[in-house]
Amino acid sequence: MEKIRVVHYINQFFGGIGGEDKAGLEPLVRTGKVGPGIALQNILGDEYEIVATIVCGDNYFVENLEKVKLELLKLIKESNPQIFFAGPAFNAGRYGVACGTICEVVQKELGIPVVTGVFSGSPAAEMFNRNLYIATTADSARGMEEAVRRMVNLGVKLLQKLPIGDPEVENYIPRGIRQNIFSEDLGAKRAVDMLVKKLNQEPFKTEYPMPSFDRVPPAHPVESLSEAVVGLTGCGGIVPKGNPDRIEASSASKYGTYEITGVANLTGEMFESAHGGYDTTYANEDPDRVLPVDVLRDMEREGKIKKLHDIFYSTVGNGTSVENAKRYGQEIAQKFKDAAVNAVMVTST
């Protein structure tokens, strides 16, 4: 019986070529298994054969991201693999990104099962968990054998199209996929059971993990308000009347950019709220109740602030995903920065 063809990706260090001094290494192919490939081959067993090992320097990879994808894909394709493994990269930043990137490319272009393994706290875990099965590993190569075992378990199941269970059972980074299952008990009973455990300080498992939010250090204060350009943004859904950008009343897929040059205050004749999550009667009557243009224009005239920025950004914060909200926030912040705005007032409904 012909063996299943495996291609394995590793970096210059695990390829035995060198450390940081060799991190600029261009991709090369070695026939058969190399370094961690020995453990991989052992655990995969006789039905599989590592036909080629692709080695590439970590710096070369991350510094030539687009080019290296094509170079590696060509080399991998030549070996005609049926399954592809990369790493494990443990907690190595560049190596993890390289493993995740090349796995995504191979999965997309060759349509074969791909698996890598990284430490759960490494950047690659967050970057690639939605698209890939990534085995959770220790933070260093001391955990090699277990890491490879976990990668093999996932790879074999993917290849044989066997179901893959929960992340904590199969040891992979959660992919953010929710699946409907039947439960013996009603939701109310499960919730009370959880609460009782919590009160008794016993371990319990939530059925709906809350998103985790990052923290940023506070910005430096504005030194002189009378010199400051102040920007306005928010998630109360304030838009020009008629909602020209069609910002959705819930789960907004965008934010709007609206000019208010010469606008002394937001009137209900010109503006309204597109929000579907609160009673917008009062915001529609006087949108200044959500974005205080009237007060800021007065303060501008009085010289208390230098200027109210002539553009405001607005979206609807109603079931909007954290992921999208974060992206809007980053883009809006960049636009304010580019326009030399000194302070930004964010209002929430």
> What is the smallest separation between the CB atom of 226 and another protein, expressed in angstroms?
11
Tell me phi and psi for residue 281, to 5 degrees: -50, -50
Cα separation of 192 and 21, whole Å? 58
Nearer CB in complex with another protein: 196/346? 346
Nearer CB in complex with another protein: 214/269? 214
Give residues with Cβ within 8 angstroms of 215, minimum separation 6: none
> What is the smallest separation between the CB atom of 218 and another protein, expressed in angstroms?
4
> What is the smallest separation between the CB atom of 169 and another protein, expressed in angstroms?
30
> What is the smallest separation between the CB atom of 307 and another protein, expressed in angstroms?
13
> What is the smallest separation between the CB atom of 60 and another protein, expressed in angstroms?
36
Q: Which of 69, 73, 152, 162 is nearest to 116 (CA)?
A: 152
Q: Provide the binding-site residues for another protein, judged by CB under 8 A.
A: 213-223, 225, 230, 236, 278-283, 285-286, 288-292, 294-296, 298-299, 304-305, 343-349
> What is the smallest separation between the CB atom of 329 and another protein, expressed in angstroms?
10
Q: Which of 295, 290, 246, 243 is nearest to 270 (CA)?
A: 243
Do β-strands 271-273 and 238-240 pair in parallel, antiparallel, or remain unpaired? Answer: antiparallel
Task: Establish whether the linkage from the previous residue to 88 is cis, with ω within 30° of 0.
Answer: yes
- Give the bridge partners for 232, in sequence order: 312, 345
Nearer CB in complex with another protein: 1/219? 219
Nearer CB in complex with another protein: 58/288? 288
- Give the bridge partners for 344, in sequence order: 231
* DSSP-derived 3-state class of residue 96: helix
Give residues with Cβ within 8 angstroms of 296, minimum separation 6: 230, 232, 305, 308, 345
Give residue 20's identity as a one-letter amino acid code: E
Nearer CB in complex with another protein: 66/223? 223
Neighbours of 278 (CB within 10 A): 15
Q: Which two tokens stand for residue 333?
A: 């912040």
Nearer CB in complex with another protein: 170/298? 298
Nearer CB in complex with another protein: 37/317? 317
Q: Are 283 and 290 in contact (CB under 8 A)?
A: yes
- Give the bridge partners for 136, in sequence order: 118
Nearer CB in complex with another protein: 214/338? 214
> What is the smallest separation between the CB atom of 106 and another protein, expressed in angstroms?
36
Nearer CB in complex with another protein: 200/212? 212
Cα separation of 56 and 23, whole Å? 8
> What is the smallest separation between the CB atom of 238 and another protein, expressed in angstroms?
11
20-38 CB burial, b ≥16 within 10 A, e <16? eebbebebeebeebbbbbe
> What is the smallest separation between the CB atom of 295 and another protein, expressed in angstroms?
5
